[in-house]
């Protein structure tokens, strides 16, 4: 059974780089790893996705090692508006069901 775990919370200051890791075993070999951001009273919003190695877009980078048993979301130079809960999303290898990570509350302070 696929399990996805993340740190419960992280604290940072404005301007710092933040790395959030998700551990996921037994994920589907033919699907991506995706990360979402959620603000209070809103649904999650797509940030970035990748299959392996490194992917970068205008807001984040995603690092995925060759064994794909984890992934790391990197947020460069965070600001107060990046305070949110961040989730990884994978497709379970055996269940073929979408599984969200446990979520990481990122608190950015001035």
Return residues touching other proteins (CB under 8 A): 28, 31-34, 36, 41-46, 49, 87, 89-91, 96-103
Q: Which is nearer to other proteins, 60 or 91 (CB)?
A: 91
How far apart CA 36 and CA 47 sit, in angstroms, is 5
- Report the nearest approach of other proteins to the CB of residue 75 (Å): 19
**From its phi and psi, is residue 15 left (phi > 0), alpha (psi between -120 and 50) or beta?**
left
Q: Which is nearer to other proteins, 28 or 73 (CB)?
A: 28
- Report the nearest approach of other proteins to the CB of residue 58 (Å): 15
Q: Which is nearer to other proteins, 34 or 82 (CB)?
A: 34
- Report the nearest approach of other proteins to the CB of residue 13 (Å): 26
**Cβ contacts of 2 within 8 Å, gap of 6 or more:** 24, 25, 26, 27, 90, 92, 93, 94, 95, 99
């Amino acid at each position: 059974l696929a399990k996805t775990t993340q740190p419960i919370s992280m604290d940072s200051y404005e301007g710092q780089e933040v790395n959030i890791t998700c551990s996921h075993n037994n994920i589907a070999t033919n699907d991506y790893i995706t990360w979402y951001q959620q603000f209070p009273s809103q649904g999650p919003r797509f940030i970035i996705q990748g299959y392996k190695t490194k992917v970068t877009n205008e807001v984040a980078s995603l690092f995925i090692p060759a064994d794909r048993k984890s992934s790391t979301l990197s947020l460069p130079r965070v600001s107060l508006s990046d305070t949110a809960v961040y989730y990884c999303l994978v497709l379970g290898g055996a269940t073929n069901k979408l599984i969200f990570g446990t979520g990481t509350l990122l608190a950015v302070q001035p």
